[in-house]
Chain A
Amino acid sequence: MSQRVTFTVNGYERTVELEGWERLIDVLRETLSLTGTKRGCDDASCGACVVVIDGEAKKSCVYPAKKIDGKEVLTIEGMADGMTLHPIQQALIDSGAVQCGYCIPGIVMELYALFNKKPDASEEEVVDALSLHLCRCTGYEAILEGALLARERMAAASVK
Chain B
Amino acid sequence: MKFKYVGKSIPRPDAVNKATGKVRFLDDIRIPGMLHAAFLRPEYAHAKILSIDTSGAETMPGVRKVVTGKDISFRYGDNIMDRIPLAINKVRYIGEPVAAVVAETLHQARQAVKKIKAEYEPLPVYVDARDALKEGAALIHEESGEFDHLPGLEPVAGTNIANRYVLEKGDVEKGFGEADVILEGEFNYPFGSCAALEPHGSVAWFHEDGSIETWSSSICPFIVREDLARVYGLPISKVRVHIPEVGGCFGYKSDVTIEQTVAYVASFVPGHPVKWVATRKEDLLSTLIGHGIRTIMKIGAKKDGTLTAMKTTLLHSTGAAVDTGIHVLIASTHNSTGAYEFPNCYLEGISVYTNTPPVGAYRGYGHQESQFATERMMDLLARKLEMDPFELREKNYLGPGKFTSLGEKLWKTNGDVKKCAGIVREIVFSKPKAVNEDDKYYYGRGFAALMKSPKGAPFSSKGCYLKFNVDGSVTINMGGAEVGQGLRTVVSQVAAEVLKIAPERISVYTEIDTQFSPWEWQTIGSMFTIQGGRAVIRAAEKAIDKLKGIASQALRVDVDMLEYGGDYIFLRSDPSVRVSVPDVARGYTYDDGVTIGEVVQTTADARLPRYSNPDKKGMGTMGVTYTFGAQACEIRIEKETGKIFIDHFVSCFDVGRVINPKQIRGQVAGGVMMAIGATLYEELKFKEDGKAVNPHFSKYGFPTIKEAPGKQTIEFVETPGEIGPFGARGIGEHPVIGVAPSILNAIYDATGIDFYDIPITEDKMKKALAEKKD
Give B663 Cβ to nearest chain A Cβ, in Å.
7
Kindly identify which residue among B11, B23, B702 contacts A101, using a CB–CB cutoff of 8 Å.
Answer: B23
Assuming A96-B662, A131-B706, A141-B712, is B696 touching A101 (CB within 8 A)? Answer: no
| CB neighbors of B among A41-80 (8 A) | 41-46, 48, 75-77, 79-80
Interface-centre pick from A42, A105, A108, A130 (highest chain B CB count, 10 A): A42
Q: Determine whether A93 belongs to the interface, using a CB cutoff of 8 Å to chain B.
A: yes
B679 an interface residue at 8 Å Cβ cutoff?
A: no
Q: Does B669 reach chain A (CB closer than 8 Å)? A: yes
Choose among B20, B107, B280 the residue that contacts A40 (Cβ–Cβ < 8 A).
B280
Counting chain A CB atoms within 10 Å of each CB, which of B19, B20, B483, B696 scores highest? B19
B484 within 8 A of partner (CB): yes
Known contacts A100-B196, A101-B14, A102-B248; is A89 also within 8 Å of B708 by CB? no
A113 interface residue per 8 A CB criterion:
no
* A41-B696, A102-B248, A136-B196 as given contacts; A93 in contact with B16, CB under 8 Å: yes
**A7: CB under 8 A from chain B?**
no
Question: Contact: B19 with A45, CB < 8 Å?
Answer: no
Find residues 206-256 in chain B having any chain A CB closer than 8 Å to their own CB.
Answer: 245-248, 250
CB proximity of A21 to chain B, nearest CB, Å: 7
Q: How far is the CA of A134 from the CA of B383 in the complex (A)?
A: 39
User: If the complex has contacts A85-B20, A93-B11, A100-B483, are A144 and B705 also in contact, measured as CB distance less than 8 A?
Assistant: yes
In the complex, the answer to whether B21 meets A100 with C-beta atoms within 8 Å is: no
User: Is B431 an interface residue when CB atoms closer than 8 A count as contact?
Assistant: no
* Cβ-closest chain B residue relative to A93: B15
Q: How many residues of B contact A (CB 8 A)?
A: 56
Nearest chain B CB to A5 CB, angstrom units: 17
Q: By the criterion CB–CB under 8 Å, are A137 and B704 in contact?
A: no
Does B580 make an interface contact (CB < 8 A)? no
Q: Whole-angstrom distance between the alpha carbons of A138 and B666 in the complex?
A: 6
Give the interface centre of B15, B196, B198, B485 by most chain A CB atoms within 10 Å.
B15
B28 CB within 8 Å of chain A: yes
Which residues on B sit within 8 Å (CB–CB) of A45?
696-698, 702
Q: Which residues of A contact B669 (CB under 8 A)?
A: 138-139, 141-142
The answer to the question of B497 belonging to the interface, with a C-beta cut-off of 8 Å to chain A, is no
Contacts of A76 in B (CB 8 A): 20-21
Which stretch, B590-598, B623-631, B670-678, touches the partner chain A?
Answer: B670-678
Closest to B111 in A: A21
B572 CB to nearest chain A CB (Å): 41
Inter-chain contacts of A99 with B (CB < 8 A)? 248, 484-486, 666, 670
A41 to B11, CA, bound (A): 30
- Asked whether A136 lies within 8 Å of B195 as measured between CB atoms, the reply is yes
Contact A140 B248, beta carbon cutoff 8 Å:
no
A101 and B708 within 8 A (CB): no
Residue interface bits B1-23, CB-to-A below 8 A is 1, else 0: 00000000101101110111111
Q: Which residue of A lies closest to B714 (CB)?
A: A141
Q: Which residues of B contact A89 (CB under 8 A)?
A: 16, 19-20
- Assess A100 versus B484: contact at CB under 8 Å? Given A33-B30, A48-B197: yes
A103 interfacial contact with B, CB 8 Å = yes
Which residue of the partner chain B has the closest CB to A138? B670
In Å, the complex CA distance between A108 and B22 comes to 14
B21 touches which of A21, A105, A132 (Cβ 8 Å): A105
Q: Are B666 and A101 in contact (CB under 8 A)?
A: no
Are B18 and A130 in contact, CB atoms less than 8 angstroms apart?
A: no
Please, how many angstroms separate the alpha-carbon atoms of A114 and B279 in the complex? Answer: 29
Is A42 within 8 A of B670, CB to CB? no
> Is there a chain B Cβ closer than 8 Å to A98's Cβ?
yes
By a CB distance below 8 angstroms, the chain B residues around A79 are: 20
Does B665 sit within 8 A of A, measured CB to CB? yes
Pairwise interchain contact B19-A39, C-beta atoms closer than 8 A:
no
Q: Are A139 and B15 in contact (CB under 8 A)?
A: no
> In the complex the two chains form, is A42's CB within 8 Å of B281's CB?
yes
Query: Is B199 in the interface zone, CB < 8 Å from A?
Result: yes
- Interface flag for A6 (CB, 8 Å): no
CA distance A46 to B20 in the complex (A): 19
User: Do residues B25 and A102 form an inter-chain contact, with CB atoms below 8 A?
Assistant: yes
B247-A101 in contact (CB<8A): yes
A148 on the interface (CB 8 Å rule)? no
Asked whether B180 is an interface residue with its Cβ less than 8 Å from the other chain, the reply is no
A16 to B716, CA, bound (A): 55
Residues in A whose Cβ lies below 8 Å from that of B30 = 33, 35
Contact between A101 and B665 (Cβ–Cβ < 8 Å)?
no
How far in angstroms is the closest Cβ of chain B from A103? 5
Contact A136 B16 (CB under 8 A): no
Q: B563 in the interface, Cβ–Cβ < 8 Å?
A: no
- Residue B722 CB within 8 A of the other chain: no
Verify B15–A98 contact, CB threshold 8 A: yes
Give 7 CB contacts A-B under 8 Å.
A96-B662, A102-B484, A130-B705, A134-B197, A136-B248, A140-B705, A142-B669
The 10 A-B pairs of least Cβ separation, nearest first, read: A36-B21, A101-B18, A100-B484, A102-B247, A139-B673, A76-B21, A99-B484, A139-B669, A35-B28, A45-B698
